[in-house]
Amino acid sequence: MIAAGRVPTLRRPAMILLALVLLCVLWEAYKLVIPDDGVTVGGALLLPRSDDASMPHLSEIVGVFGKQEVAGSAGGSTVLSSVLSALWYSLRLAAAGFAAGVVVGFLLALAMQRARIVERALLPYVVLSQTVPLIALAPLVYGWSGNLTLLGLDWTPWMSVSVISAYLAFFPVAIGALRGLESPTATQLELMSSYAAGWWATLLRLRLPSCVPYLVPALRLAAAAAVIGAIVAEISTGLPGGIGRLIISYAQQATGDPAKVYAPIVGAAAMGLIAVGLVSTLDLALRRFEPQGEVIA
pLDDT in tens, 17-43: 888 899 999 988 988 888 888 888 877
- CATH code at 94? 1.10.3720.10
Q: How far apart are CA 41 and CA 287, in angstroms?
A: 53
Q: Burial-class residue 172 by CB neighbours within 10 Å (0-12, 13-18, 19+).
A: buried
Kindly report each contact of residues 193-201 with a partner whose C-beta sits within 8 Å and lies 24 or more positions away, as own/partner: 199/114
Q: Find the mean pLDDT for residues 47-52.
A: 83
Residue 106 resides in a domain: yes
Q: Find the mean pLDDT for residues 151-169.
A: 83
Q: Give the torsion through C-alpha atoms of 144, 158, 272, 56, to 10 deg.
A: 90
- Residue in 85, 30, 83, 96 with CA at minimum distance from that of residue 57: 30
- Residue in 221, 223, 232 with CA at minimum distance from that of residue 137: 232
- Residue in 76, 56, 54, 74 with CA at minimum distance from that of residue 66: 76
pLDDT at 295 over 50: no
pLDDT in tens, 13-22: 788 888 889 9
pLDDT in tens, 237-276: 888 888 988 888 888 877 777 888 888 999 999 998 888 8
Pick from 157-161, 282-286, 289-293: least confident: 289-293
- The whole-number pLDDT of residue 111 equals 92
Full residue range of the structural domain in which residue 243 is found:
64-145+153-291
pLDDT in tens, 194-236: 888 888 888 888 888 888 888 888 999 999 999 999 998 888 8
Measured between its terminal Cα atoms, the distance across the chain in Å is: 5
Q: How would you label 211-250 residue by residue, b for 16+ Cβ within 10 Å and e otherwise?
A: bbbbbbbbbbbbbbbbbbbbbbbbbbbebebbbbbbbebb
pLDDT at 287 over 80: no
Identity at 129, one-letter amino acid code: S
Q: Find the mean pLDDT for residues 77-87.
A: 88
Pick from 109-123, 133-147, 168-182, 201-215: least confident: 133-147
47 φ, ψ (degrees, to nearest 5): -120, 140
pLDDT band at 145 (very low <50, low <70, confident <90, very high): low
pLDDT band at 9 (very low <50, low <70, confident <90, very high): low
Q: Burial-class residue 266 by CB neighbours within 10 Å (0-12, 13-18, 19+).
A: middle
Residue 50 resides in a domain: no
- CB neighbourhood size of 175 (10 A): 21
- The whole-number pLDDT of residue 195 equals 82
Residue 233 resides in a domain: yes
Q: Is the dihedral of CA 169, 171, 173, 176 positive or negative?
A: negative
Q: How far apart are CA 89 and CA 227, in angstroms?
A: 11
Q: Find the mean pLDDT for residues 98-124.
A: 92
Residue 6 resides in a domain: no
pLDDT in tens, 57-70: 888 888 888 888 76
pLDDT at 7 over 50: no
Residue 7 resides in a domain: no
Q: How far apart are CA 268 and CA 261, in angstroms?
A: 12
pTM exceeds 0.95: no
Domain total in the chain = 1
- The whole-number pLDDT of residue 71 equals 47
- Residue in 186, 179, 181 with CA at minimum distance from that of residue 205: 181
- The whole-number pLDDT of residue 224 equals 92
Residue 40 resides in a domain: no
- The whole-number pLDDT of residue 292 equals 56
Q: How far apart are CA 154 and CA 284, in angstroms?
A: 39
Mean pLDDT in the chain?
Answer: 82
Q: How many residues does the chain have?
A: 297
Residue 297 resides in a domain: no
% of the chain beyond a pLDDT of 90: 22
Segment holding 176, helix H or strand E = helix 157-181
- The whole-number pLDDT of residue 166 equals 93
Residue 74 resides in a domain: yes
